[in-house]
Each structure stands twice: as structure tokens, then as C-alpha cells.
Chains A and B, each alone.
Chain A
Amino acid sequence: MLTLRQISKHYNPGSVNELCLFEGFDLSVAEGEFVAIVGSNGSGKTSLLNIICGSIDTDAGSILVNGQDITRQKDFLRHRRIGRVYQDPSKGTCPSMTILENMSLADNKGRAYGLGRGVNKSRIARYKELLLPLGLGLEDKLHTPVGSLSGGQRQALALLMSTMTPIDFLILDEHTAALDPKTAEIIMELTERIVREKKVTTIMVTHNLRYAVEYGDRLIMMHEGKIILDRSGREKQEMDTDEIMGIFNRISVECGN
């Protein structure tokens, strides 16, 4: 259970460029829920994820995970219980290290990184087992540096790596936006499968309205730092892309773009 209570965030406070992004923002995400967030540029979607992950500070308000206040917790400490996939496929992996080395790193998350061997050979079979269902042939390329893989392959690997260890939340920051439509589709299907298998609470920001309608249990539309649409359960299932497109266009026209 994630709760954001009365979050406020201003950029450039005290200057002429002061921008108020959030003012008294509230949001609750239930355990195991898969939330899709859509909204125009500057609506605060990515800032919201950054606030949850601790990448940016808030001015006021509190963030609670299962009742525990993590508002002042450092970002790297929060990430021990969060898996995160970024828009840029190169952010979720280490390009100069091999697939095997990358997976070994991710496999050790939550434990100490000491002077033990970096690669645990007895885990190789398990890694291959995880890579096989992707259907990308990565299981035969364990010793290939990740930098020489394509964006889609890297993103699939990043998604896999972010969910290898037990996590409370999966945070997906427009993770299909930099991929071609076909690869994006594969990554979305993989996402759906992982989320359902692990029953992990997931927050996905996307620009693709169709993905937001097709995937997830709940759909949130944001505009200028506010939630203007929040549907879950049957209400969400009955929505179609045209309807949400209509709402999206209406708010866009209202503010002149």
C-alpha cells in the first residue's frame, strides 16, 4: 500500500520562474494494483514517479509505504524495495558489462556487495530460464556486452533485472516510448506477464493511451499536477481508447495546445 499525502512541489521557488507542480496532491495505490498513468507533457507524471522513488525532494507532505513514512529516506535505500525501468533503455543496464554480469549484479540486490565472486556460476541455469521466454535469443548471448544489444533487447533485460529480487513496487517510466511499435508491444506483453506472475504493485507512466486502456487495473489521467480522471474496476474495463482520447483532447484544447 502506497500513500501520498498532501504532497507539494515547487520548482525554482522564489524566482520569477517559480512553477507550482503539486499542491496538496493525494494518491493511494493498493497492494497488487497495476496503475497506468497518462497525461500531457508537463502534467507531472514523471515528477510523481521521481517523488515516489526519492529522486527529487518534496516541499511538503508525506509518502507512506505500508504505513511507514519514507519521505526523508534516501533514494538508494528506497530502491532496495523498488524496481524501476526507465524510458532510456541504456539506463537500466551497464553497457560495458556482459548480460551474465548484469544479471548477477541485479540478482544480488538487497544483499551486501562484498568480495565474493561477482558471478555465481550455479545461477547461470536460472538466468537462462528467465531469458528463454523472452524469445530474443539472449540466453545464448550471456557473454555478450549489453552495449551491443538493440534497444528492445536491453529494455527486456532491464525489465527482467528490475524484477529479479522481491520488490514492493515496480515503477515503469514510459518504458516503451523509445522502442519501435512491434518491440513496444513485446515489452508490454512481457510487463503484463511479470506483473501478473509476481503480483507486484505497479505504477506505469505511458504516452500510449491504448496501453493505458488495455493494460492495468486502474487508469489515472493527470493534468497540471492534478488527477482529473481516476477509474478502476468495471469502470476501467468498460473504457475504450476513443473515450479516453476524447477526454485527453478536450483538456489539451482547453489549455490551448
Chain B
Amino acid sequence: MALLLSVLEQGLIYAIMALGVYITYKILDFPDLTVDGSFPMGAALACILIVKGMPPVATLPICFAAGAAVGILTGLIHVKLKVRDLLSGIIMMTALYTVNLRIAGKANLPIYNLPTIFENDLVNGIFTGALSRYKTVIVILILTVAVKYLLDWYLSTKSGFLLRAVGDNDTIVTSLGVDKGLVKIVGLSVANGLVTLSGCIFAQQQRFFDISIGTGTVVIGLASVIIGTSLFRGVTFWRVTTSVVIGSLIYKGCVAAAIRMGLSSSDLKLVTAVLFLIILVLGMDRKKKVKTDADTTADQQTL
């Protein structure tokens, strides 16, 4: 039971991050590595703000805004300075490592006895008695569902339509008289806002910030997105965003199962990587990608 709760809690928190990765990877077709830096940035910000006495709820919008700003920077590096997508993310990820250390002041910052969005007077007042052990998962569920519906709403607006169009066929965005670079920047901004928000919630659930928690974030995000979208490919009665959330839960479940079968927690990243490889191979998403990459290389050579 405790294991199931922990899978649900972490799966739902990481689902918010996976929704961000869904925007960049699936919609924008931009493999954004910034997330390895923006996820721990949310954790660092949340912990330091709570240590300084800020109400926990206020950390949520602050972290989203900070992440959005980071996304804009990645976008500017890619669009204005014309650095390749992968490299733009690597540059930001590396720079954010230092930024995160500076934000938190040290590599590890616990908030064990301080209030969080799960541990405060309001939440403790609502969830009493037997319910209290479910309060964390309920609060996370509310947050994740709210984020999912907000993202669904955004993708159905005119601005959201442009975002979907730019990943699909960026020529048409130019034809519509819109700067496609600007649309990419907006997409990266929303995506990293979500990733940072996810890191913020994660730190409050774990009750600490650690500089290493960001490592492999992008792999977890991609795995969740690919599990969700390939498993529920033909499903039409719910939206893709729902598939991504479920993908995140399945992924966390797989990792928990692997650990339970006798692997130690220091094996976690290896499990993460191997699982991702298995998912890629089974998901068949790789074939198309590899082929397009090969095609572009061939094109460049002929040029």
C-alpha cells in the first residue's frame, strides 16, 4: 500500500514534468535538455523560499514563472543565436547547475520541519484521522489534473493552435504572417514552466533539495511521453495529455517494480536508462526519428 501510494505520488508529480516534455518533444519536435536543469531549479527555489518563510502555495506560481523565463532563454539561444536545438538545451542545463547551487546556497537543503503545500494548517485541517495518510496524493492529484486541463485549454486557443502548427509544419506559420521563432520561444517557455513547477512540488513532497535530483529528468519525461502516446495511440475518448499522465504513472510503477525485485536505490539511474531504451525499442518511435536524422545528414552531405 505504501509502495502504491509512493508510485502514485511520484508518478503524478512527474506527470506535470512529462506534460512539459510532451510540448517540446511531441508538439514542437524540439529535444529540450534544459529540463535537467529547470526541474532541480524548481526544487531549489521551493526549498529556499520556504526556508525564508514564504507561504508554500506562493512557491507554485513563482517556480512556474522562473521556469518560463528559463525556457525563453533556451528559445532565444536557439532562435536568435541560431544554436542547434540539442546544444541550446545542453548549454542551459550546464549553466543552471551553477544557478541552482547559488539559489539553494548549497548542494543539499532539507525542509523537514517547515510547512509545505502538503503540510500546513489548511490541508491538515481538511484531512484528519484516517484520511491524513492520503492527503499528499490527493493534493498532488488536484494539482496535476488542474495542470492537465489548463494545458488542454491552452492547446485549444489560437496561440495553442500556432504551437501545434509550428511543430507540424513551420512553413505554414510563416505563411500565416507569424514569426515562427517567437512561437517556438513561447512553447519552450510554457514547457519549462511546467517542468519547474513539477520540481517545486517534488521538493515539497520529498522535503529536501539535492543538486543531483535533476539528472535524468529528460529521460524520465521522454519515457513517460513515449509510453503514454504509443500505448494509447488509437484512443480517442481521452486527450493525449491524459495518456502522458498515465504514461508517467506506468513508468514510475515499472521503476518501483524493478527496485522491489532486489535492485538498490543507487541502481536507479541505470534502471531509468535501461527502461527508457526498452521503451524506445518497443515504442517504435525510434525508427522514424533515426530515419529522419539519417535523411537530414544525407541532405547536408549532398549540399
Contact = CB atoms under 8 A, between A and B. Distances in A.
Contacts of A117: 156-158
A101 B175 contact: no
Interface in A68-114: 74-77, 79-80, 83-84, 86, 90-97, 101, 104-106, 108-110, 112-114
B171 A86 contact: yes
Contact of B161 (A91, A95, A113, A162): A113
A92 B170 CA distance: 10
Mostly, the B contact residues are helix
Interface in B123-179: 154, 156-162, 164-165, 168-169, 171-179
Interface of B: 154, 156-162, 164-165, 168-169, 171-180
A115 B159 contact: yes
A74 B179 contact: yes
B177 A92 contact: no
A79 B175 contact: yes
A91 B177 contact: no
18 contacts: A79-B176, A79-B177, A92-B172, A93-B172, A97-B164, A97-B165, A97-B168, A105-B158, A113-B178, A114-B158, A115-B157, A115-B158, A115-B159, A116-B157, A117-B156, A118-B156, A118-B160, A118-B161
A105 B160 CA distance: 10
Contacts of B175: 79, 83-84, 92, 162
Interface residues of A, number: 33
Given A96-B168, A108-B176, A109-B176, 5 more contacts: A105-B176, A108-B158, A109-B177, A113-B161, A118-B161
Interface of A: 74-77, 79-80, 83-84, 86, 90-97, 101, 104-106, 108-110, 112-119, 162
Contacts of B169: 90-91, 93-95
Contacts of B164: 94, 96-97
A109 B171 CA distance: 14
Contacts of A112: 158
A145 B179 CA distance: 24
Contacts of B160: 118
B157 A95 contact: no
Contacts of B158: 105, 108, 112-118
Contacts of A119: 156
A204 B32 CA distance: 40
Nearest to B161: A118
Contact of B176 (A86, A90, A106): A106
Contacts of B171: 86, 91-92
A86 B174 CA distance: 13
B177 A76 contact: yes
A155 to B, nearest CB: 13
- Interface centre among A76, A91, A96, A115, by most B CB within 10 Å? A76
Contacts of A101: 161
Nearest to B162: A113
B165 A105 contact: yes
CB-CB nearest 7 A-B residue pairs: A80-B177, A118-B161, A113-B158, A94-B168, A115-B157, A94-B165, A79-B177
B161 A105 contact: yes
Contacts of B172: 91-94, 105
Contacts of A108: 158, 176
A34 B164 CA distance: 34
A93 B168 CA distance: 9
B161 A77 contact: no
A75 B174 contact: yes
Nearest to B160: A118
A123 to B, nearest CB: 13
